[in-house]
Structure 1
């Protein structure tokens, strides 16, 4: 009787924990955007930590850095896009440019943000 109960509890534990264990690597992979696709200035990605990537020479920017920042004057989060000597802070739904590199902030959440570069 005890063996049956222990076996049953073990199987239930495995069934409950297995989806959580297998979902973790998929979420971690989704958190890492493919920034090589942004080289031409056209890409869309979601980030949870500040990211940097190179863009084509025609933009004269070198590396672009994208980060979610807290703007205390408004009491909310925004996305800061910066390059050496240039910076722009945009709220959700806003559009901006840096040396001809256009960007739109699609969404900002408590964990990160989604942006679209349109060249």
Structure 2
């Protein structure tokens, strides 16, 4: 084999080792939960999550879980627990953080959070 063939084979072999997820299009996007700290965000969930929120809401953490028919949002803080259980398309709030269920299925929940006055 010539040096050109060996170099071409080495390049082809190194390209074959690139993981499929690294291509971007097929990689699943994780929700940006830090964007929800101020109580204002739109998130798409594929599993239960828990994240910090501003203490100005009287809570410091939101935990969100869901199944095909309900979304449970639980807010906790020092000495405080508050929760809302919502069906698809419903709206509610947990300690002045408004929650609207945009869509809901067994594998995915799309929510919009917004501060309430």
Normalised TM-score (structure 1): 0.69
Matched, 1:91 2:87: yes
Match for residue 62 of structure 2 among 52, 61, 64: 64
Matched, 1:77 2:73: no
Change (3 A) 1:96 1:24: farther
Q: Which runs of 4+ in 1 moved over 3 A?
A: 21-29
**Residues 21 and 27 in structure 2, CA contact (< 8 A), matched pair in contact too:** no
SS in 2 for 1:53: strand
| CA deviation after TM superposition for structure 1 residue 29, in Å | 3.2
Deviation sequence 1:54-80 (CA, Å, 0-9, x none)? 1111101111001103xxxxxx52110
Change (3 A) 1:26 1:61: farther
- The 5 A counterparts of 1:1-119 are 21=20, 26-30=25-29, 32-69=30-67, 77-84=69-76, 85-119=81-115
Greater share of helix residues, 1 or 2?
1
Give the Cα separation in 1 of the matches to 2:57 and 2:104: 26
Aligned residues: 92
| CA deviation after TM superposition for structure 1 residue 23, in Å | 8.7
Normalised TM-score (structure 2): 0.70
SS in 2 for 1:29: coil
Change (3 A) 1:79 1:24: farther
> CA RMSD of the aligned region, Å?
1.9
